[in-house]
Chain A
Amino acid sequence: MVQRRGSAMGRVSAGLGVVTAIVMAAALYMMFIYAPTDAVQGQPQRIFYIHVPIATIAFLSSFVLAVGGIGYLVRRSQRWDRLARASAEIGLIFTTLVLLTGSLWGRPIWGTWWTWDARLTTTLILWFIYLGYFMLRAYAGDADRAARYSAVLGIIGAIDVPIIYLSVDWWRTLHPGPVLFTSGGPAMPGSMFVTFMVSLLAFTLLYVWLMYQKYMIESVKDRVAERQFQLAERQAEIREGMAL
């Protein structure tokens, strides 16, 4: 399934890429130009349109990772592990971005680079879970062990994240309250809401597109490794044939 220009896969990928670019362009326009300036927070509030969608994707990634892990443990096929690996890498990047945009947003609003509120704290812990995932893969030895161990970590991590959030939330909360959905409709003017939804769509498409690319790259990597392995096998067989 190598992407060749003109192949079905290549067309899907290109099509998806184009759609993503268009929606992202629209989102960027809307968040910086179309959406009104917030009365309370001023211009920095616009980071919200990036920060929250990216956060959604970061957490979604951990869920996809767990699904990949379950798939691998049940089916023992490399495809599921590829899904998990791809989602982990994108998840780590997005989580890092959440933390950065959160800091950038927080500084002008709250005066500090960091607050220990529930959402940001949970994101920070998620970041360390992703880090642990990659460390585990690096030190686990052969491919099967790495996939198995990280699948277990992914499953436990994904189920733990909501519990972490709950515990931190009970413990302390400073984050702006539910801005989107309070009883009686969204607590923000229509134009802001629309901007947010478009941005969420844009980043979701970006995630899907990135996942697709990453999955394909991992797929090619796996097949190259497999080819090399088979080549080595063939050479070993020839050697043995000569010896016997």
Chain B
Amino acid sequence: MSEVQSPAPIVSRPHDLAEPRVPRVRAVAITKRFGNRMALRGVDLVVRPGERLALLGPNGAGKTTLLRILATLSRPTSGSLEIDGLPVERAALEARRRIGVVAHQPYLYEDLTAAENLRFYARMYDVPDPDQRIFEVLTLVGLDERRDDRVRSFSRGMQQRLALGRAILHRPSLLMLDEPDSGLDRGGMALLAGTVAEHAAAGGSTVITTHDLGFALGAVDRVLVLRAGRVTLRANALDLDVAGLDRALGFTR
């Protein structure tokens, strides 16, 4: 193992810094309809490299639906989406390569060990030098000791940490976290905040949905509020406080 003097970026590819003008995400007029229900009614969204964005909104506002569309898990009923300048309609595979997702479900195979899970995803994402990378990631999320234990034996906090590891394994340029605070313990939250910060410093972008307004304001640069499938507020985190957000979300008047 070589001595690493200045640690290589754990999360992002260095070359992304060369393209500061191409937005990480450009979503235009996204609508999503489920039968008779309109979940998203025309959402525009731009996320720049190095930016951290929080998606807020009451339950049923469409946050998860929007996140799924941004993650290419769902097709919008209308509208266009570009990831790193790549139109998702035509370059879906290449777009997916640049996205890492931590959702409510950990996307882990419970009867496989932590290392086996990561090895599987490393193969699917064509991660170069997989063994080295898996070691790096497991160390980062503090699960190297448990690498050969089955995920079934992990606590929820540990599973979420492994899920985070799975999400950054392939060095995505865009991280999407759907209510990451819901499953993590304190150590996990610190890890998450640190990872997001490091990711941003290397030019990566993050989109987070959460219900914890305090956490959101502390961890992100910009905030987007969704209500009933529409964007009702776009602001810098620095210009907001929790009370203001509560009003924007409709929880208080």
The chain A residues found within 8 Å of chain B, CB to CB, are: 141-144, 225, 228-229, 232-233, 236, 240, 243-244
Contacts and interface: CB of A to CB of B under 8 A. Distances in A.
A244 B232 contact: yes
A144 B36 CA distance: 11
B250 interface: yes
Contacts of B34: 142
Given A240-B230, A243-B250, A244-B232, A233 B38 contact: yes
Contact of A240 (B35, B36, B227): B227
Nearest to B228: A240
A232 B227 contact: no
Contact of B35 (A141, A233, A243): A141
A233 B35 CA distance: 12
A143 B36 CA distance: 9
A240 B38 CA distance: 13
A143 B35 contact: yes
Contacts of A141: 35
Interface of B: 34-36, 38, 41, 227-228, 230, 232, 250
Contacts, number: 21
A232 B36 contact: yes
Contacts of B230: 240
A243 B227 CA distance: 10
A204 B38 CA distance: 42
A115 to B, nearest CB: 45
Contacts of A225: 36
21 contacts: A141-B35, A142-B34, A142-B35, A143-B35, A144-B35, A225-B36, A228-B36, A229-B36, A229-B38, A232-B36, A233-B38, A233-B41, A236-B38, A236-B228, A240-B227, A240-B228, A240-B230, A243-B250, A244-B227, A244-B232, A244-B250
A225 B37 CA distance: 12
Contacts of B228: 236, 240
A232 B41 CA distance: 13
Contacts of B232: 244
Contacts of A243: 250
Contacts of A229: 36, 38
B52 to A, nearest CB: 26
A228 B36 CA distance: 9
Among B35, B41, B250, chain A packs the most CB atoms within 10 A around the CB of B35
B153 to A, nearest CB: 36
